[in-house]
Structure 1
Amino acid sequence: MTTLAIIGAGQGLGLAVARRFAREGLSIALIARDQARVDELAATLVAEGHTAAGFVADVRDRPSLVSALEQAASRLGPIEVLQYSPLPAKEFMRPVLETVADDLVGPVEFSIYGAAAAAHQVIPGMRSLGGGTLLFVNGASAVRPRDGVTGTAVAFAGESAYAELLHGALAPEGIHVGQLIIPLGIGGGDPAHEPEVLADTLWSMHADKGDFRVYAAPLPD
């Protein structure tokens, strides 16, 4: 059995994606900062007949992230799919004229350094499997900067560039890299933004290995 590792797992999109991939036969590694939260999510999945376990990591603490991914692969099976979707902190979201250089350190560690550490940890295993998928989940500011969320917009843009470079470099090896842009956040009554719909989209991105960037819905004007 191979594994889907979700970095930034939670009750909304994370649980929906976990269920979608588990139905396809993957084991599920749930990674977040709160052990109780990931254990609760894992228990829910196990009660539904799936294989799952929770692991603790902070994406700004790269050794903890690498360790969590190592533990997940050892306990559940090699990581075939990685989803990088931690929720940015509110303090990353300030107007540009109120954002100084030090304010960008956290967002860059969160969205770029963490993403790179996770990717480099799982790529060798995907090569051994003969393929795999890295999925990056971002909001609209990744492709259309917005003043009120400066730190996240800058860091998401860097994450987007990194992921797109990975896409080009890894495609010849059968490893797909994709980015899902969710313009209006998760849920909120828009059917295209409901967790189960987004989970189906992420499964299709893995199964079909099509374009690098997929939009959950068109960007608002």
Structure 2
Amino acid sequence: MTTFALIGAGPGLGLASARRFAAAGHTVALISRNAENLDGLTTELASDGIDARGFAADVLDIESLTAALYAAGAALGPVEILQYSPVPRADFMKPVLDTSADDLDAPLAFSVKGPVTAVNAVLPGMRDLGRGTLLFVNGSSAVRPNPNVAGTSIAFAAESAYARMLHDTLAHENIHAAQLIVPGAIRPDAEHSSPDALAQRLYDIHAKRDGFRHYSEPLPD
């Protein structure tokens, strides 16, 4: 059995993704900063008969993130699918003229160092399996820079570049890297951007392996 590892576990998209990939036969590793929240999520999943375990780690802490992913693979089986979808902090989203060089340290660590750390931790196991999927979830500022949210616009663009390079470099190893852009808010009543709809879309990207960048719905004009 292989593992679906979710970085940025929460009660919305995270829980929906965990359920969708578990339905396909994967064990579930939930990674988030808050251990108490993880306990609640794993308890809820267990009530549905889903084999899930929480691993506390901060994506801004390379050592803790690496340790969590190694522990997940050792406890649950090798990570075949990695979803990187933590929610950015509000202080990442200052207007561009109010953003200093120091203001970019945390967003870049969050959206670049975090993904690089996570991929480096799971890639050896995927290579041993002979397959794998790397899923990156971003907002619209990843592809359409927004001067009102400079930190995420810059950091998401860098994450996009990294993910695209992975897509091009790892394809011949049967490891598929892809990005899902969610232009607006994730809402339970949204046709294409509800947690369940996005979880299904992510699963389809994993299963179909048809290209790098996908959109949950068209970008608004």
CA distance in 2, matches of 1:184, 1:140: 7
Residue type of the alignment partner of 2:158:
G
CA distance in 1, matches of 2:150, 2:185: 17
Give the superposition deviation at 1:106.
Answer: 0.5
CA distance in 2, matches of 1:34, 1:173: 35
What residue is the counterpart of 1:52 in the other structure? 52
Give the superposition deviation at 1:188.
Answer: 6.3
TM superposition score normalised by structure 2: 0.99
- In structure 1, list runs of 5 or more residues that go unmatched: none
What residue is the counterpart of 1:110 in the other structure? 110
Residue type of the alignment partner of 2:59:
V
Task: Say how many residue pairs are matched.
Answer: 221
What residue is the counterpart of 2:189 in the other structure? 189
What residue is the counterpart of 1:42 in the other structure? 42
- Deviations along 1:108-167, one digit per CA (max 9) or x if unpaired, are 000000000001110110000010100000000000000111001100000000000000
Give RMSD over aligned pairs.
0.7
Consecutive aligned runs of 4 or more in structure 1 exceeding 2 Å deviation: none
Q: Does 1:125 align with 2:125?
A: yes
CA distance in 2, matches of 1:204, 1:132: 14
CA distance in 1, matches of 2:120, 2:69: 11
What residue is the counterpart of 1:143 in the other structure? 143
Residue type of the alignment partner of 1:72:
A
- Deviations along 1:178-216, one digit per CA (max 9) or x if unpaired, are 100000121163211100000000000001111100000
CA distance in 2, matches of 1:12, 1:190: 13
How many percent identity over aligned positions? 54
Give the superposition deviation at 1:39.
Answer: 1.4
What residue is the counterpart of 1:21 in the other structure? 21
Q: Secondary structure at the match of 2:55?
A: strand
CA distance in 1, matches of 2:38, 2:81: 18
Q: Secondary structure at the match of 1:155?
A: helix
After the TM superposition, which residues 74-113 of structure 1 pair with which residues of structure 2 at under 5 Å, given as runs? Answer: 74-113=74-113
